[in-house]
Amino acid sequence: MPPDLQVQLLRVIQERRFQRVGGEHSLSFDGRLVCATHQDLRELVSEGRFREDLYYRLNVVQFDIPPLRKRPADILWLAQQFITENAARVGRNPPPAIDEATRNALLAYPWPGNVRELKNLIDRACIFCDGDRLSPELLGIPAAGPANNLRYTRDEAERERIVQALRLHEGQMTRTAASLGISRKTLWEKMKKLGIDKDGL
């Protein structure tokens, strides 16, 4: 954000008024600002490239969102959401499925373009999919067998054990956690990480 625009934004935040380009009257501003950046604003402030007063005006509540590659549970959940949305948009029922090889490939891929890259690849794969399953080839990402992916092997084994326990205890979280020797909170966290939905078992 160039310095002159920073000044204008700060003025709007402080005065809660603004004037449209070419306008003759100022208008009141009643809203909330949600800002996003991949820059280190504190560093930019120390370098004199971002106004300190604006930084403290904006930095009220801060959320740090890690890259997609560090959120493996979100990868599969988001992929399924994008597939479902794509199928609904084009009237495809049922939507294509994600098989084991594709799940493995999705988890192994580093996703340098984060969620946007995932959505674009899913949309493209759905367009060219003439069967009932999406493959790594359709997604345009390298396949990675379970034997070559230690994280995937570990996660799949843990996922299968939790699913078995949930089925055995009919989805009762407390009993399932006790049988696995973990707390209810830990069980919930593992289910979220591994993309387990007990209602879908």
Could you read off the pLDDT of 5-41 as tens digits, one per residue?
999 999 999 999 988 888 888 889 888 899 988 888 9
Q: Which residues 6+ apart lie within 8 Å of 68 measured at CB?
A: 74, 75, 78, 111, 114, 115, 118
Of the two residues 196 and 47, the one the predictor is more confident about is: 47
| Fold annotation for 149-200 | Arc Repressor Mutant, subunit A (1.10.10)
How far apart are alpha carbons 192 and 200 in whole angstroms?
13
How far apart are alpha carbons 90 and 87 in whole angstroms?
5
Q: Does domain 68-147 have CATH number 1.10.8.60?
A: yes
* pLDDT value for 150: 62
Q: Do domains 68-147 and 149-200 have the same CATH topology?
A: no
The pTM for the full model equals 0.54
What is the average pLDDT across 71-80?
89
Nearest to 39 by CA among 23, 50, 30, 51: 50
| Domains of the chain, residue spans | 3-58, 68-147, 149-200
